Structure 1
Amino acid sequence: MSGHSKWASIKHSKGKADKQRSKIFSKLSKEISVAAKLGDKDPDMNPRLRSAIQAAKSANMPKDNIERAVAKSSINSETNYENLRYEGFGPDKIAVIVEALTDNKNRTASNIRSIFVKSGGSLGTQGSASHNFNQMGIIKIDKKEISDEQIFELAIDSGANECISHDDYHEVQCAMNEIYNIKKKLEKIIVNFISTEIEWVPLNNVNVSKDRSETALEFLETLEDDDDVQSVYSNINFGNN
């Protein structure tokens, strides 16, 4: 299994743990507020907002929380969040991309640099790690929604590049500029989605042995736990020896 798939699977299962719930809700609320602020407050007219709300529903975020996050976009008109990307290398030279949504660039940069240094890694410049990845549109659907055969046919008919069925969810991969067109076609059959995002998929993976994987996992989880961090991508491949 590729590092992208394995790390994504680990995040997907961990995301259901109660101890992670409030942090996940906080990140989802921020994305909903920013999406509503930057575009239409009607999800049908704003693909980014629609995707953010669907992700929130998939995480069982209460309807009241979602409505508050949309309303917050008007109240906090003076707060400007920026989308930022950080790149670097963690334990065992794994390439890492961190996407953040922040109202304080200095705080975020300082925190992320500190996490990299403490792990024995280093934060690099833009492009230092991203050449190890392809940016792609990734649409995730719970396996309860549709069978392996049906989603594969639907994905290909919708113009997707690839469809991979994991243990508990399907992953539809497509060109990032086609993601919302393909999503619209999928929505004719599928109602509930886990997420719709532009993700960084590794071109090649770095193997990390089983005895070293815990260190790498702790590093990636520490990055994800930072309040300003929205997503973490890595080319790690967890070994079995």
Structure 2
Amino acid sequence: MGRGPSIEARKNASDAQRGKVFTKIIREISVAARKGGGDPASNPALRSAIDKGLGFNMPKDTIERALKKATGELEGVEYEEVRYEGYAPGGVAVIVDCLTDNRVRTVADVRHAFGKFGGNMGTEGSVAFMFKRLGVLSFAPGADEEAITEAAIEAGADDVVVYPDDGSIDVLTAPDGFGAVKAAMQAAGLEPGIAEVTYRADNDVAVEGENAQQVAKLLAWLEDLDDVQNVYSNADLGADAYA
């Protein structure tokens, strides 16, 4: 009977994954600071990126160093935002948001991923119209629905969605109202498990069988690319996607 990975091997894999997450967050902090200034109190995008870093236990000195590089106090790499759009198998729409210091490398990596798993890249705007940008505060199953709903309405949230399959709850906001709603929920003692401004599809596309497996592999491959920050899709994947 074979042995599983050693403790050291598992730790190394975990450290590598943590390093990837840190790299993506540092890029996000850098771009937000360059665009809106290095003060998180007056830069909601920066505040959100820093909160994300702290949520992943990123050391504060790592965050400070990223801020100093972005604001010119330390020498650093400049990243630009670039978006790619395309279709995965089964007609699934995919948006790939990147931060890169080399567009040629990034587009080649993204195009390779689409081709490898049976998809194809589209032109700018070819699928983005199917998605809406919004703030999402997610609460785990078992959270107090009544308290969350009351606080969300009081804070000016757009909607509260309770998922009947597990009882989890999403509070939805306009992007520019996200920070205020999040602060109000926290002040009410309601800490979301995940809080982010993201993109959600207007309608999901159900895919099954081999198509679902190819879509799952494509999305995972894209998310693992160093230059990719976020991947959005309208795929509704069944359990067989991960078979």
TM-score of the aligned structures, taking structure 1 as reference length: 0.80
Q: CA deviation at 1:63?
A: 2.4
1:82 corresponds in structure 2 to 80
Q: Which runs of 5+ in 2 are unaligned?
A: 1-12
Alpha-carbon distance in structure 1 between the residues aligned to 2:228 and 2:17: 14
Alpha-carbon distance in structure 1 between the residues aligned to 2:190 and 2:31: 24
1:101 aligns with 2:99: yes
Which residue, 122, 125, 128 being the options, matches 1:127?
A: 125
Alpha-carbon distance in structure 1 between the residues aligned to 2:112 and 2:156: 42
Alpha-carbon distance in structure 2 between the residues aligned to 1:169 and 1:20: 27
Give the alignment of 1:1-241 within 5 angstroms: 18=14, 20-73=17-70, 74-75=72-73, 79-140=77-138, 147-164=144-161, 170-189=169-188, 196-210=195-209, 212-240=211-239
Q: Secondary structure at the match of 1:44?
A: coil
Moved more, 55-64 or 69-78: 69-78
Please say if residues 44 and 179 of structure 2, whose CA atoms lie closer than 8 Å, have aligned partners that are also in contact: yes
Q: Secondary structure at the match of 2:187?
A: coil
Q: How many residues align?
A: 224
Q: CA deviation at 1:170?
A: 4.7
What are the Cα deviations for residues 188-239 of structure 1, in whole angstroms up to 9, with x where unaligned? 3358665544322111111112554332211101111111111001111123
Q: Secondary structure at the match of 1:42?
A: coil
Alpha-carbon distance in structure 2 between the residues aligned to 1:76 and 1:168: 47
Residues 1:124 and 1:182: Cα distance change in structure 2 (over 3 Å): same
Please say if residues 68 and 74 of structure 2, whose CA atoms lie closer than 8 Å, have aligned partners that are also in contact: no
Residues 1:177 and 1:44: Cα distance change in structure 2 (over 3 Å): closer
Moved more, 113-122 or 198-207: 198-207
**Structure with bigger gyration radius:** 2
Q: Which runs of 5+ in 1 are unaligned?
A: 1-16
Residues 1:211 and 1:115: Cα distance change in structure 2 (over 3 Å): closer
Please say if residues 164 and 172 of structure 1, whose CA atoms lie closer than 8 Å, have aligned partners that are also in contact: yes
Moved more, 161-170 or 209-218: 161-170
Q: CA deviation at 1:68?
A: 2.2
Write the letter of the residue equivalent to 1:65.
Answer: T
Alpha-carbon distance in structure 2 between the residues aligned to 1:179 and 1:137: 5
Instruction: Among all aligned residue pairs of Structure 1 and Structure 2, give the percentage whose two residues are the same amino acid.
Output: 39
